[in-house]
Amino acid sequence: MLLNIEDLHATVEDKPVLKGIDLKIEPGQVHAIMGPNGSGKSTLSKVVAGHPSYEVTGGKVSFEINFKDTDLLELDPDERAREGIFLAFQYPVEVPGVTNLEFLMTSYNALAKHQGFPEMQEEAFLPFVKEKMKMVQMREEFLYRSVNGGFSGGEKKRNEILQMAVLNPRLAFLDETDSGLDIDALKIVAEGVNNLRSKDNGIVLVTHYQRLLDYIKPDFVHVLSDGKIIKSGGPELALKLESEGYDWIQ
Amino acid sequence: MENIFRSWTEFSKRQSKTLRGPLASGFVKLAEESANEWGTKPYPRGEAWKYVNFRELPQTHFRWPEEDGVTTQVADPNFYTFEVRNFVTPQPLNVAELPPGVRVQSEVTAEQPITRALSDNPFEVMATSFYGLGLQIDIDSGVQLKKPIKIIIDLDKLSGKDLFIHQNISIGMKEKSAAQVFLEIRGEAFCGLANICLNCELGAAADLKVFSKEKGGPQSHFVVNLQSTVGESANFSCHDITLPSQWTRHNFSVDLREKASMGSLYGAYLNDKKNFSDHHTSIRHSVGATESREDYRGILSGQAQAVFNGKVYIAANAAKSNSEQINKNLMLSSDAEIDTKPELQIYNDDVKAAHGATVGQLDEEQKFYLQSRGYTAERASQILSKAFVYGLFDRESEQVQDFYGSDVANSLDRLGAH
């Protein structure tokens, strides 16, 4: 099993947000997590990635590393990233003074070094990253701008998917990657994610809306409410939520 | 302060012999009057000087450099570069290369309002009174410089202790002219007090961008004064970076004098050990439809102290003006101190104005973003400290990046910004 979350509890500023989450993800699976505002969807993503503002107060999160289950909660956020955990941010932050190219190459090499595959210098990295940029239809000039500096909302989201493509994570959480995207941008982002699906990695889509799931077909859909998964099912569950809302389930 | 004014009066008497016309005797009188007013006090007590640590100034009698240099234009494919080394008696300047419509001379003759010298700023009094020393740049109507002008005031070439230096840079831009001016003050080995005044007058639709940096050392004391008056639809901006220096005081003022004029002040101060820096700024919206931006950022480590006091004044007849002001500070040590006061004075209801100040640590969300991409916590902090300062100029040209880049990076290493 790639990720196994058991009875996970977490708080932010002493306020309980996750109140007993259970979730299992196998390699090759795509899971969608839906739920009303404030249900804990984003918190779950951030806790798995290791955000320092959240305190885990109970439960276990194990991640398979080299065929062994490892306690993910013992690792720092950067260690989790180097092991193949990726979080596509809902609000990607700007990092002035660091070009996108420098940022991507440093990240790539940090992971490569840790995972034991060859690091790349700029001459090898450039064609590699340009190929990935085609997937999300980003122009080359974005490589030479500072990270997310002056990017539109849609460009920032595409840049997140570009990072995912470059880092090729084993488990990716996409936190409301569809929010703020027009339909064309949504298709581009969805196509990028679909290209990155493989039998070896897992993807978790955190979203409010069914429309993302028209383009990325999940294997499982979970409904999160008040810090717990209250219902799980197949893609049909998302359709029912879209037409009937959350009231029938709560 | 008395020692400074004694030195100044003495220098004024000597200086007046080299000046022409009725102003010559005026300088001595002004110096003596100011010395009476300021020199007898231990140090000024008003708000503008409240936090200034005068005790860190040398209490010795300042001296003029014994050997004077010659200001020259040096060959540079990327800039029109002038090295200022003429610190005692004005000397003629040989200009090798300048485009038509641009004049640079080493003797400053531009008329400057002497009344300004009676302001509450004794250093401004001193700097503006020494008309003769420095550089005067005049740019004719419609001339748009493709290559920037660079001015290097190289105090490191001076030998001797407790030196007293005055330089006056005057930039006059006629209507529809455009230029960039880079000003570099080098003084890592300098021992004494350097008082630099930059005066910029912009005609209608003129565009001037100033990029300055001051690089001092353990015995350097800098006072940098900037005054800019901005004409109709003209645009003035100044980026200034104070690299780690023992003692610096900045007095920057921008007067948006005509409608649709715009003024921006961007600054950074990087203080370590017991460095002291004080930035006093004033932006005046004298008429309507004027716009200003101000963004100052500081990083402080060790037992450093910094002061930011930024005043934005919007006059009663300045309707439709727009102003934004922010001062952000990153404290790397619990012993460092920042005294910050962003200030708005608004006398018209139909304006947009915002101001604020922050004091704190690195942004945890940004740090987490980098860590989530595999950067260690230490490396993430280094990058974000750099980004904090680079954010002021990272959308400027490559020349600007080169001008600040390595000095800022080296200074951050000194501050232990991680």
**Is a pLDDT exceeding 50 seen at residue B21?**
no
CA nearest to B380, candidates A159, B328, B298, B372: B372
d(CA B53, CA B223): 13
CA distances B416 to B359, B385, B411, Å, are: 18, 10, 9
What's the confidence (pLDDT) of residue B99?
Answer: 95
List the domain range (segments joined by +) for residue B268.
65-360
Is B28 within a domain? Answer: no
**Is a pLDDT exceeding 90 seen at residue B69?**
no
Looking at the structure, do residues B312 and B333 belong to the same domain, yes or no? yes
**Inter-chain residue contact A78 with B374, CB threshold 8 Å:** yes
Å between A109 CA and nearest CA of chain B: 9
Model confidence band, residue B326 (pLDDT cutoffs 50, 70, 90): very high
Domain end, chosen from B340, B360, B380, is at B360
Looking at the structure, do residues B281 and B394 belong to the same domain, yes or no? no
What's the confidence (pLDDT) of residue A27?
Answer: 95
The total of structural domains in chain A comes to 1
Is B48 within a domain? Answer: no
d(CA A12, CA A76): 18
Q: Taking residues B282-308, what's their average pLDDT?
A: 96
- Tell me the pLDDT tens digit for each residue of A207-230: 988 888 999 999 999 999 999 999
Looking at the structure, do residues B392 and B285 belong to the same domain, yes or no? no
CA distances A196 to A185, A193, B124, Å, are: 17, 5, 64
Domain end, chosen from B319, B336, B360, is at B360
Is B298 within a domain? Answer: yes
Is B23 within a domain? Answer: no
Domain end, chosen from B342, B360, B378, is at B360
Looking at the structure, do residues B183 and B250 belong to the same domain, yes or no? yes
Is B6 within a domain? Answer: no
Q: For residue A244, give the CATH number of its domain.
A: 3.40.50.300
**Inter-chain residue contact B384 with A95, CB threshold 8 Å:** yes
**Inter-chain residue contact A92 with B369, CB threshold 8 Å:** yes
- Tell me the pLDDT tens digit for each residue of A87-110: 999 999 998 878 899 999 999 999
Looking at the structure, do residues B252 and B382 belong to the same domain, yes or no? no
* CA end-to-end distance (rounded Å), chain B: 38
Looking at the structure, do residues B193 and B267 belong to the same domain, yes or no? yes
**Inter-chain residue contact B387 with A52, CB threshold 8 Å:** no
**Inter-chain residue contact B371 with A81, CB threshold 8 Å:** yes
**ipTM metric:** 0.95
What's the confidence (pLDDT) of residue B90?
Answer: 76
CA distances B47 to B125, B150, B251, B309, Å, are: 18, 34, 13, 9
d(CA A247, CA B96): 81
Looking at the structure, do residues B395 and B300 belong to the same domain, yes or no? no
List the domain range (segments joined by +) for residue A10.
3-249
CA nearest to B266, candidates B166, B126, B390: B390
Looking at the structure, do residues B323 and B401 belong to the same domain, yes or no? no
User: CB count, 10 Å around CB of B111?
Assistant: 8
Q: B256 φ, ψ to 5°?
A: -85, 90
Structure-token pair, residue B231: 């004409």
Mean pLDDT (chain B, rounded): 87
Chain A CA closest to residue B380: A78
Helix spans in B117-181 (H)? 122-129
Å between A214 CA and nearest CA of chain B: 28
Å between A209 CA and nearest CA of chain B: 25
Looking at the structure, do residues B165 and B302 belong to the same domain, yes or no? yes
Structure-token pair, residue A11: 């708080």
The total of structural domains in chain B comes to 2
Q: Taking residues A112-117, what's their average pLDDT?
A: 94
What's the confidence (pLDDT) of residue B118?
Answer: 46
Structure-token pair, residue B174: 């006629």
d(CA A144, CA A161): 17
Q: Taking residues B132-154, what's their average pLDDT?
A: 94
Looking at the structure, do residues B201 and B329 belong to the same domain, yes or no? yes
Looking at the structure, do residues B99 and B239 belong to the same domain, yes or no? yes
- Tell me the pLDDT tens digit for each residue of B379-408: 898 888 888 998 899 889 999 999 999 999
Mean pLDDT (chain A, rounded): 93
Nearest beta carbon to residue A95 from set B364, B377, B387: B387
**Inter-chain residue contact B363 with A93, CB threshold 8 Å:** yes
Is B45 within a domain? Answer: no
d(CA B3, CA B42): 10
Is B4 within a domain? Answer: no
- Tell me the pLDDT tens digit for each residue of A60-71: 999 999 888 999
- Tell me the pLDDT tens digit for each residue of B225-256: 999 999 999 999 999 999 999 999 999 999 99
Å between B405 CA and nearest CA of chain A: 9
Chain B CA closest to residue A86: B372
**Inter-chain residue contact A76 with B386, CB threshold 8 Å:** no
Is B85 within a domain? Answer: yes
Asked whether the CA dihedral B103, B107, B113, B116 is positive or negative, the reply is positive
Looking at the structure, do residues B170 and B232 belong to the same domain, yes or no? yes
